[in-house]
Chains A and B, each alone.
Chain A
Amino acid sequence: MRTLKTSEAAAVLNVSPNTLRAWERRFGYPKPQRSPGKHRLYTHGEVAALRDALHEGLSISSAVSRAREALSADTSVLVGALSSFELDRADIAMEAALALRSVERSVEEVLLPSMHDIGQRHGYDSAPWAFAAQWATDWLQRAQRLAPPPLRPAAVLIGDATHDELDVDALAMRALQLFSVRAGARMLVLPVGGVAGLAEVLAAFGPQAVVIAGDTAGDDQVARWAYGVRSAAGALPVTLFRRGSRTDSARTTARVLPDSPGDAHRVLLQMLDGRPRAMTSAAELSLANDERRRVGA
């Protein structure tokens, strides 16, 4: 994926860098990522789509709307490919998405929304969902194999409390794992049902934080597993990811991560890097998740 610095993106659009930042505030587009030095990095595809839309637009708003439509075409292509059970086309759709976005945004803006669409259309217990979920899991694993080797000392243990690979939370968990690995963290996923031999594995892995992901395993089972982890690795910060209805701020001291894998991995890395906490309580996270759903709707 080709990225542009602010001055380069401004030159492509024939505007000043200040104007580009004003558009980001007013229209939320183009939406830059940040470099390790916290500088804005714009994806060339987004900037080019906006440049083309501006040529034929009557306002910046309508051009932004058009540019967004052009980019959202990737989601339609992926849904179409998976609905017609064409795996090669699905891979091509993700390749097209990657040409315009980072891996993280391709997953969050194309793969996961497409899977949501398929789940809503066919049901999460249907064969088309199972077909699509297996492809998505495979794609996320392939992307993880291409990730650079770990750069951070951070090691995170994920307790898999999802039902199985076809659980919608399992996809989000795999996405969180991918994003964290790409950010340089070491990740290990273990099912919360398996306590035997936990000590040996954790002694070798040396986790610094624990994420309990998924809504299927009961609290008793999770508590037994968490006790096993604590006995083997000591007291570690525990966070909950997509525990849904089981997340009760009154009963747990564990921090709740946002539902979005992208937001969750940022909070997790902030926590591991010892930065100030972005989210401090289950209540705040619940509010943030509600706000996110509202905006998404």
Chain B
Amino acid sequence: MSARPNLIVLPGHADRPRPEVHFCGHCGRAPEIADIMPASRVCDRCGLGLLLTAPAEAAPSPADPFLLIDGTLSICAVSRLAEGLLHVTETEAVNRHVTDLLVPADAEASGPESLVNLVVHAARGEGETHDVVLRPADQFGIRFWARVGPCGPPRAALLVLADGRA
């Protein structure tokens, strides 16, 4: 046995285990049995949303309005609180482009920080959680601090309007 020291691969920052949480895509609450994904994906509390998983730092609290957006930038879900905040029902919003409802508040923001890039990357399951400032597409003077992160299944971007909480 050689006394020479060996090089070994250590997990890096990006590989660190990230705690994930389950939440309902409509009411934002965790399932009643929090640690186990139930057999049915339908929320056992409100019955109007599907249970999803997201990194803990991205996941919404029950008081956060949020949207789910797929890789084609189509809205796939609007939470109950977001329906009230954005004055749109989920049924009306589903399949519409995200920029029909929300656009970057800073019109000159571009590059990797732009909303579209953040959403596309998050919908691929890539990247960290990012903060972004948004406004309703048809209104000026209103700003939302939002965070964008991955969620699923299936893979999608989670857009939490963090300062729009009730």
Q: Is the CB–CB distance between A62 and B42 below 8 Å?
A: no
Q: Chain A residues near B22 (CB, 8 Å)?
A: none
A60 at the interface (CB under 8 A from B): yes
Residue from A13, A15, A59, A62 having most chain B Cβ neighbours under 10 A: A59
User: Within 8 Å of chain A (Cβ to Cβ): is B52?
Assistant: yes
Query: Which residue of B has the minimal Cβ distance to A57?
Result: B50
Max count, chain B CB within 10 A of own CB: residue among A16, A27, A57: A57
Q: In the complex the two chains form, is A59's CB within 8 Å of B40's CB?
A: no
Residues of A close to B77: CB separation below 8 A: 58-59, 61-62
A88 within 8 A of B: no
Residue in B39, B47, B78, B154 whose beta carbon sits within 8 Å of that of A22 in the complex: B47
Q: Identify B76's interface contact among A18, A22, A59, CB under 8 A.
A: A59
- Residues of B within 8 Å of A22, CB to CB, are 47-48
Complex CA–CA separation, A145 to B154 (angstroms): 48
Name the contact of A60 in the complex, choosing from B49, B70, B95, B156 (C-beta under 8 A). B49
Contacts of A125 in B (CB 8 A): none
Min C-beta distance of B48 to chain A, whole Å: 6
Interface size on A, residues (CB 8 A): 20
Residues on B with beta carbons closer than 8 Å to the beta carbon of A220: none
**Judging by beta carbons under 8 Å apart, are B25 and A59 in contact?**
yes
CB <8 Å contact, B47 and A18: yes
Which residue of A has the minimal Cβ distance to B76? A58
Q: In residues 56-74 of chain A, which contact B (Cβ within 8 Å)?
A: 56-63, 65
Is A19 among interface residues, defined by CB-CB distance under 8 A? yes
**Closest chain A CB from B26 CB (angstroms):** 7
Does B81 belong to the interface (CB within 8 Å)? no
The reply on B68 being an interface residue by CB < 8 A is yes
The minimal Cβ–Cβ distance linking B146 to chain A, given in whole angstroms, is 18
Instruction: Encode contact with B along A33-66: 1 for CB under 8 Å, 0 otherwise.
Output: 0000000000000000000001011111111010
- Please give the distance in Å from A158's CB to the nearest CB on chain B: 38
Q: Chain A's nearest CB lies how many Å from the CB of B27?
A: 12
For residue A5, give the distance in angstroms from its CB to the closest CB of chain B.
19
Chain A residues within an 8 Å CB radius of B91:
26-27, 61
> Of A15, A61, A65, which contacts B40 at CB under 8 A?
A15
- In the complex, A14 has a CB within 8 A of chain B: yes
Contact code string A5-21 (vs B, CB < 8 Å = 1, else 0) = 00000000111101100
**Which residue of chain A has the shortest Cβ distance to B90 in the bound complex?**
A61
Within 8 A of A (CB), among B144-158: 154, 156
With A14-B42, A19-B42, A54-B42 known as contacts, the answer to whether A59 contacts B47 (CB < 8 A) is: no
B residues in contact with A57, CB < 8 Å: 50, 76, 154
**Given A14-B39, A19-B42: A58 and B50 interface contact (C-beta under 8 Å):** yes
- B50-A54 in contact (CB<8A): yes
Query: Taking the nearest CB of chain B, how far is it from the CB of A288, in angstroms?
Result: 22
Candidates A16, A56, A58, A63; contact of B47 at CB < 8 Å:
A16
At the interface, yes or no: B94 with Cβ under 8 Å from chain A?
Answer: yes
Is B40 a contact of A58 with CB atoms below 8 Å?
A: no
The complex places the Cα of A61 from the Cα of B48 at a distance, in Å, of 9
Which residue on A lies nearest to B77, using beta carbons? A59
Q: How many angstroms between the C-alpha atoms of A60 and B41 in the bound complex?
A: 10
Would A56 and B90 be within 8 Å (CB), given that A61-B77, A62-B77 are in contact? no
- Tell me whether A15 and B42 are in contact (CB under 8 A): yes
Chain A residues contacting B52 (CB-CB under 8 Å) are 58
Residues A58 and B156 in contact in the complex (CB < 8 Å), given A14-B39, A15-B47, A22-B47:
yes
The distance in angstroms between the C-alpha atoms of A13 and B39, with both chains bound, is 11
Docked complex: B12-63 residues within 8 A CB-CB of A = 25-26, 39-42, 47-50, 52
- Measured between beta carbons, the chain B residues less than 8 angstroms from A18 are 47
- Bound-state Cα–Cα, A57 to B68, Å: 11
Write the residues of chain B forming the contact surface with A, with a CB cutoff of 8 angstroms.
Answer: 25-26, 39-42, 47-50, 52, 68, 70, 76-78, 90-91, 94-95, 154, 156
Q: List 26 A-B contacts (CB under 8 A).
A: A13-B42, A14-B39, A14-B40, A18-B47, A19-B42, A22-B47, A22-B48, A23-B47, A26-B48, A26-B91, A54-B41, A54-B42, A58-B52, A58-B68, A58-B77, A58-B156, A59-B25, A59-B49, A59-B68, A59-B90, A59-B94, A60-B48, A60-B50, A61-B76, A62-B77, A65-B95
